[in-house]
Amino acid sequence: MKIGIIICDRYRNCAGGKCFRSAQKREGAFDIYDKDIPLEIVGYTTCGGCPGGNVEYSPEEMVKNGAEAIHFATGFIVGYPPCPYIMYFKKLL
């Protein structure tokens, strides 16, 4: 299973450790995937900053790289303040 991950631009310097570990261990949002099916992260980028212009373009590039699912990193919800655009992003994708 190939996936892409989009992070909040406030965390643009994040190296992705928690996302990559969670995907590998099938924890959090990644617990929906069977542990017997390998996960491959084919894209990792930021939203581009508010109001998230990169969310319109980066998923398409990830799909070109084989992404079958796009995940939003935890920072969109637990960051302070939470992302005011997350529901729009979910509808857009």
Which residues make Cβ contacts (< 8 Å) with residue 24, sequence separation at least 6?
A: 39
pLDDT exceeds cutoff 90 at 40: yes
Q: Which pLDDT belongs to residue 53?
A: 92
The secondary element (H helix, E strand) that includes residue 62 is helix 58-64
pTM: 0.91
- Please answer whether residues 72 and 3 qualify as being in contact, where contact means their C-beta atoms are separated by less than 8 angstroms: no
pLDDT tens digit sequence for 8-39: 999 999 999 999 999 999 998 899 999 999 99
Q: Which pLDDT belongs to residue 79?
A: 85
